């Protein structure tokens, strides 16, 4: 029986290979054979961890959610106030200037597959709603005087802007350069940030 650390190492190897294949080759290129070749192992080893392409996709989506949630937690924790947290969370999520193009490709690939699969769609909705809930909570902290429908609209609009910029910039960075992404996000945040609050404050240390 393999040691537990060997199992973890194998799963990490396959996770990285799955991620790279989906990021580099898109949904059509994601096969058990492609993952095996990228990982330098047999298809049998891949099938032991992920018996189907659907299992590979679900794992890739979970990994994406895990990575982005960790970054969002860190960005929010470092902010000095609610406007700063909102700006930081959305700023780290948008492609500029962090180069999250491969994450955007994974996101887009999973979404394409989810359109035709109820299980994949449910996993995608759960991850997206988690992000919406975070942004909605921060919008509420910034604008507690707004009625609930307005806060909900603001939160979903901000998420839609960030996700849209990510996918569009990944496919066409010349049309959606870092400058445009930065200015679009700043303009959207200006509609939410209370007067006199820049939304850029951070805790020191």
CA distance 2 to 23: 30
In this prediction, residue 99 carries a pLDDT of: 55
Q: Please tell me the predicted confidence (pLDDT) of residue 137.
A: 98
User: In this prediction, what percent of the chain has a pLDDT beyond 70?
Assistant: 89
Identify the pLDDT of residue 205.
33
Distances (CA, A) of 37 to 20, 48, 143, 178: 11, 15, 51, 34
3-class DSSP state for residue 79?
strand
CATH fold label, 1-51: Arc Repressor Mutant, subunit A (1.10.10)
Assess contact for 164 and 102: CB atoms under 8 A. no
Bond into 132 cis (ω within 30): no
Q: What is the per-residue pLDDT across 130-155, written as a single tens digit (0 to 9) for each?
A: 999 999 999 999 999 999 999 999 99
What percentage of residues in the chain have a pLDDT greater than 90? 43
Which residues of the chain are modeled with pLDDT < 50? 1, 200-205
Give the whole-angstrom CA distance, residue 113 versus residue 21.
Answer: 15
The answer to whether 76 touches 88, Cβ cutoff 8 Å, is yes
In angstroms, rounded to a whole number, what is the distance separating the alpha carbons of residues 10 and 47? 12
pLDDT of residue 27: 80
Report pLDDT digits (tens) over 11-42: 788 888 888 888 888 888 888 899 999 999 99
Q: Which pLDDT belongs to residue 160?
A: 96
Q: Where in the chain are the domains?
A: 1-51, 57-190
**Helix, strand, or coil here: 202?**
strand
| pLDDT given at position 24 | 85
Q: What is the DSSP string of 108-134?
A: HHHHHHHTT-HHHHHHHHHHHHHHHHH
The Cα–Cα gap between 76 and 61 comes to 22
Which among 77, 101, 124 has a CA at the least distance from the CA of 181?
101
CA-to-CA distance for 24 and 30, rounded, in angstroms? 10
What CATH fold (topology level) applies to the domain 57-190? Tetracycline Repressor; domain 2 (1.10.357)
Query: Considering only CA atoms, which of 1, 122, 26 is closest in space to residue 65?
Result: 122
């Amino acid at each position: 029986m393999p040691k537990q650390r060997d199992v973890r190492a194998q799963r990490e190897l396959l996770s990285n290979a799955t991620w790279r294949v989906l990021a580099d080759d898109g949904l059509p290129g994601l096969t058990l054979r492609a993952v095996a070749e990228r990982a330098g192992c047999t298809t049998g080893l891949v099938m032991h961890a992920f018996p189907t392409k659907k299992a590979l996709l679900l794992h890739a989506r979970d990994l994406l959610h895990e990575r982005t949630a960790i970054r969002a937690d860190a960005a929010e924790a470092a902010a000095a106030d609610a406007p700063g947290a909102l700006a930081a969370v959305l700023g780290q999520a948008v492609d500029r200037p962090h180069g999250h193009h491969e994450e955007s490709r994974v996101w887009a690939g999973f979404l394409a597959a989810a359109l035709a699969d109820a299980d994949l769609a449910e996993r995608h909705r759960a991850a997206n709603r988690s992000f919406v809930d975070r942004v909605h909570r921060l919008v509420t902290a910034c604008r507690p005087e707004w009625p609930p429908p307005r806060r909900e609209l603001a939160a979903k609009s901000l998420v839609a802007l960030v996700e849209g910029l990510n996918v569009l910039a990944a496919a066409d960075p010349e049309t959606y350069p870092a400058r445009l992404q930065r200015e679009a996000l700043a303009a959207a945040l200006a509609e939410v940030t209370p007067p006199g609050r820049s939304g850029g404050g951070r805790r020191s240390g």
